[in-house]
Structure formats: C-alpha cells, structure tokens
Chain A
C-alpha cells in the first residue's frame, strides 16, 4: 500500500527565511515521489519529482527535496521564502512499475509573513 504523511498541516515563516515542509512516505514498491503546489483557486502545479536518479532533486522556484530511504522521507526545502510561495503544498507518492495513480498527502498550508 502507498501513502504519504505530511507532518504539518500549517507552516508559517517570515519572508527571506528558510522553508521546510516535511513528508514521510510508505510504499510497497520503490516509489516515485512528487511535490505539487496549489495556489488559491488554482490547479496543481508540479514542483519537482524523484524517480530513482539523484536523491537530491531540484525543482522550480528554488525548491528542492531530498529522498532519504532510511528515513522514508522526502522533505521539501527552500533557502529563502518569498511572498509568492504562500500556497498549499502536497507530497505525492506513486508506485513505480504499476499504474500511475497518485496518492496525495493531506497538504501543508504555507504562510509567508512579510
């Protein structure tokens, strides 16, 4: 079975400070992992993906995530938060080798304080 747990439902940071959004996964197969972002009243946009190449994955808008198999984690980070980063972030797992279903975490709402 596949699932992800996003450890924080809400994270608040000041503009210019680092962002850390935590995600742990569970997968019966070697997984593919994604982070998607959803801005208010918008669809979901892919930030980055891990598919068994480099464990440190760089995405758009300065975000990156590190796959740690020993910790079953895929935390999302950004060195310096920008006001435009305020959104809902979803950690997503997809079992590799099977159907391409995506299993979404419950989301983390990021607030950026000016």
Chain B
C-alpha cells in the first residue's frame, strides 16, 4: 500500500459526459501528479500540482482539468468524454516540487466510456 488513495476504482459513463476523479496523496507529500495509461498511448504524464499550484503540464487535453485543494487532495475533471478517453488514470504523489524524488502511485481509476 503506497499511501495514495484514489476514488472511485471504476467508472463507467457515456460519451459527452463529465466525470471527476479524486486523489489523496501520502501524508506529508505536497506534489500530486496525474497520469493516463491506455493501450495505444502507454503511460503518459498529464499534469502536476505542488501545494495547490500547477507546476507542470504534459499531454493533457483541453477538455481535462485538475486542481489541488488546501488539504492537498486533488481532482481530475474530464469533460465531453470520448471513447478514446477510456483508460486507467493514476495519481501519484511525492514529497517535493521537483526531482529527483520518487513518486508513489495510487491504485488507479479505470474509466470506461461507452
């Protein structure tokens, strides 16, 4: 158990809908990262937050957004969902803002868009 929690574990929704994925980092970790794992794209970094502020952006679509709250939990919002958004979404956390600190991963949220 990494100490990173993600809810829900599974999510099934229809195209065009909007969903919110939630992540709680390990106690004491200030950085939260979101990743998408799909069969065709592999594991891709989406976005990082540090202590409530956006720190780095990766291959995140404009339809996706994230935020980190004062209690350090983070939410990833996915809107206007398409079939291709079906994937496993991981959250990770680390102690500091920048590397090379290892990241601890949550169990993931499996999103299925039908």
Instruction: Indicate, yes or no, whether A interacts with B.
Output: yes
- A interface residues, Cβ below 8 angstroms from B: 32, 34, 36, 42-46, 49, 51, 90, 94-107
Interface string of B72-114 (1 = CB under 8 A from A): 0000000000000000001010101111111111111000000
Contact of B42 among A32, A100, A107 (CB under 8 A): A107
CA distance in complex: A42, B107 (Å): 6
Q: How far does the alpha carbon of A97 sit from the alpha carbon of B98 in the complex, in Å?
A: 7
Contact indicator B56/A101 (Cβ below 8 Å):
yes
Tally A-B pairs: CB < 8 A: 67
Q: In the complex the two chains form, what is the Cα distance from A42 to B4 in whole Å? A: 13
Size class of the contact patch on chain B: 20 to 34
Give the contacting residue for A99; candidates B35, B43, B98, B104; CB below 8 A.
B98
Given A43-B2, A100-B48, A101-B45, the answer on whether A34 and B102 have CB atoms closer than 8 Å is yes
Q: Give the interface centre of B100, B102, B108 by most chain A CB atoms within 10 Å.
A: B100
User: Is A101 touching B100 in the complex (CB atoms < 8 A)?
Assistant: no
Q: For residue B96, which residues in chain A have a CB less than 8 angstroms away from its CB?
A: 100
Instruction: Identify the B interface with A (CB < 8 A).
Output: 2, 4, 31, 33, 35, 42-45, 48, 55-56, 58, 90, 92, 94, 96-108
**Contact yes or no, A99 B42, CB < 8 A:** no
Which residue of B has the minimal Cβ distance to A52?
A: B100
Q: Is there contact, CB below 8 Å, between B48 and A99?
A: yes
A97 to B99, CA, bound (A): 6
Nearest to A104 among chain B residues (CB) is B43
Most buried by A among B33, B102, B106: B102
Residues of A contacting B43 in the complex (Cβ-Cβ under 8 angstroms): 90, 104, 107
Q: With A45-B105, A49-B102, A106-B42 in contact, is A100–B2 under 8 Å at CB?
A: no
Decide if B2 touches A45 in the complex (CB within 8 Å): yes
- Please name all residues of chain B whose beta carbon is closer than 8 Å to the beta carbon of A107 when the two chains form the complex: 42-43
Sample (29) of A-B pairs whose CB atoms are under 8 Å apart: A34-B102, A43-B105, A43-B107, A44-B92, A44-B105, A46-B103, A46-B104, A49-B100, A49-B102, A51-B100, A90-B43, A94-B100, A96-B100, A97-B98, A97-B99, A98-B98, A100-B33, A100-B98, A100-B99, A100-B100, A100-B101, A101-B33, A101-B48, A101-B56, A101-B58, A102-B35, A102-B103, A103-B45, A104-B42
